[in-house]
Amino acid sequence: DVLAVTRRDAFGELLSSINIVLTIPVATASNERMFSTLSRVKNYLRSSCGDERLSDLLVLSCLTEDAKNINLWEVVTEFAKMKPRR
């Protein structure tokens, strides 16, 4: 028990560094896919939307499988319950 505590004290910074390195993704394919999707979405919607809407559309575009499971009727109902915009 004393030996384990001594190791943790002696190698605390090293163990923290190893934990950080192990959480970093090995491949950059998902990042490249996000940038590719972003460029497609930005080209399609060049100047017709703001940053927040562009970000939301990017998330929907990258998570198409999850987006297919969204109940659109519930989304429309929630939107209708919101206060009038104009």
CA 51 to chain centre: 15
Distances (CA, A) of 52 to 31, 38, 39, 58, 59: 19, 13, 16, 10, 11
pLDDT at residue 11 in the model? 72
pTM above 0.75, yes or no: no
Mean pLDDT taken over the chain? 74
Range 21-25 average pLDDT = 73
Is the pLDDT at 2 greater than 60? The verdict is no
Is the pLDDT at 80 greater than 80? The verdict is yes
Residues 5-14: tens digit of each pLDDT: 666 666 777 7
Residues 41-55: tens digit of each pLDDT: 666 656 667 777 777
